Structure 1
Amino acid sequence: MSEPHRARLSPQDRRAQLVAVGVNFLIDHTLDELTMDELARRAGVSRPLVFHYFETRQGMHLAVVTTARDSLLVASAPRQDLAPRERIRDTLLRITVFVQEHRGTFYSLVRGTASGDPAVRKIVDESRELNAERLSDSFIELGLADTAVLRIALRSWVAFAEETLVSLAIERDTSADDVVRFLEASLHGMVNAVRDQRL
């Protein structure tokens, strides 16, 4: 197979290009559908070249999921110039917009890896933990005690929010403002429910 652009890319750029093709694949497909052959075909390169950069299908999946996860985390990074409540609302809005603009990618992250490789699930779980920590920082700044029950509740709420985003922002195409209002109300309701707990 002819590869007219191969010589023009550094190894780092070539690998980044292959990962980007893999992430774009998630727009319309699940992660389990992404094979080495399919990535090679879509990137217009040889199958051995894909193996050269990733060695195994698992290695390719890990690279693609890590990049997709990092894109979401960067897009939803809290704005520290905002007050805590406004910061939370702004973050929820940017996450919702990201999900609406990258439906397949988000769906694959939260659903497609549920029964997949443990190493892939670990990458996704790390993003959930970080999102819970970001929320915790804002609520602690608002005066809540940093308790175990608060952190447990926030981790659980993140999973709830993912399902809500799939159901409302993706499957029902609900407006971003309506999704955010619901997420914000559920989040503050949950926090109020645990406010007086000391576990």
Structure 2
Amino acid sequence: MNDSQQRGKTRRSRARRAELISIGRKLFADTAYDALCMDDIARQAGVAKGLIYYYFKSKRGYYLAIVEDSVAGLVARARGDTDLPNAERLRRTVDGYLQYAEHHPAAYRTIATGGVGCDAEVLAVRDAVREELVATIAEGAYGHRTLPPIARLALVGWLSAVEGTTLEWIGGPSAPDRPGRARLGALLARQLRATLAVIEEFAPECPAPPPEEGTFENVGDLAPVTGSP
């Protein structure tokens, strides 16, 4: 096999693996890990069981690959543009987070809840992504990823609220007045701004980004929340 054929085979292999991860993400989003055997997974995925073993070695390996892939996608989306002013970067981070949840609800549920059921290794992956997201917020706000304990606790509290709000948003009934992503993002960004202001009171070494650096929300998006014209 020459180099060109090898590269083609590698691309097809990666595409097939990604396809299996996408299928598995939907399966595990609604069914407990222990309730699915490899035969069930293969049948619902429409593939031979041996193909899943070939790529992932075991059911657990398959599940962890799904979680890790979901985490990578969420973190990449949330990081967004790194060359923007701090306040605008934070707004983009919130929007990127919601955009990921909106378009990948099954993957988001797996990340935010630690998967269906309780799995220590999956929970560890979830905790790692939370730490990364807190660090991303800190970098956007302060230009560095290290935080004093009081500031970290405040941001973890805000992120926990964001997770619960987002889960409700993607899973709740589609009511006529259900907020769109822009409106919800404006609400969460305003809450983040308030959190950063409180952090500054308790940790003056962590000053909130000044308003003149950018805006946390577009005025048009925020108007339905504040009642402002």
TM-score > 0.5 by shorter chain:
yes
Give the equivalent residue in structure 2 for 1:183: 188
Q: Of 19, 22, 38, which aligns to 2:21?
A: 19
The CA deviation at 1:81 is: 2.0
The 1-side partners of 2:32 and 2:77 are apart by 21
Give the equivalent residue in structure 1 for 2:155: 154
Give the equivalent residue in structure 1 for 2:66: 64
The 2-side partners of 1:179 and 1:45 are apart by 39
1:1-199 → structure 2 map (5 Å cutoff): 12-13=13-14, 14-25=16-27, 29-30=30-31, 32=33, 35-111=37-113, 113=115, 115-141=117-143, 146-172=147-173, 173-198=178-203
Asked if structure 2 preserves the Cα contact closer than 8 Å seen for 1:31 and 1:108, the reply is no
1:161-189 superposed Cα distances (whole Å, 9 cap, x missing partner): 11111123442552111111111121121
Give the alignment's Cα RMSD to 1 decimal: 2.8
The 2-side partners of 1:163 and 1:175 are apart by 16
CA gap of 1:12–1:122, structure 2 versus 1, over 3 A, is: farther
The CA deviation at 1:63 is: 0.7
1:88-114 superposed Cα distances (whole Å, 9 cap, x missing partner): 111111211221111222123212527
The 1-side partners of 2:27 and 2:65 are apart by 13
CA gap of 1:158–1:95, structure 2 versus 1, over 3 A, is: same
Asked if structure 1 preserves the Cα contact closer than 8 Å seen for 2:56 and 2:62, the reply is yes
The CA deviation at 1:149 is: 0.9
SS at match of 1:76: helix
TM-score, normalized by length of structure 1?
0.80
Give the equivalent residue in structure 1 for 2:216: none
The CA deviation at 1:24 is: 4.2
Give structure 2 stretches of 5+ with no counterpart.
1-7, 205-229
* Number of equivalent positions: 189
The 2-side partners of 1:30 and 1:71 are apart by 22
TM-score, normalized by length of structure 2?
0.71
Asked if structure 2 preserves the Cα contact closer than 8 Å seen for 1:30 and 1:104, the reply is no
Structure 1 residues 11-20 or 80-89, which shifts more?
Answer: 11-20
Q: Percent identity, aligned pairs only?
A: 23
Q: Which has the larger radius of gyration?
A: 2
1:27-75 superposed Cα distances (whole Å, 9 cap, x missing partner): x624635542233123332223323433332221101111111111222
The 2-side partners of 1:83 and 1:42 are apart by 47
The CA deviation at 1:123 is: 1.1
1:138-173 superposed Cα distances (whole Å, 9 cap, x missing partner): 22139xx94221112112221211111112344255
- One-letter identity of the residue aligned with 1:91: T
The 2-side partners of 1:114 and 1:128 are apart by 18
CA gap of 1:51–1:114, structure 2 versus 1, over 3 A, is: closer
Give the equivalent residue in structure 2 for 1:3: none
The 2-side partners of 1:102 and 1:164 are apart by 16
- One-letter identity of the residue aligned with 2:75: L
Give structure 1 stretches of 5+ with no counterpart.
1-7
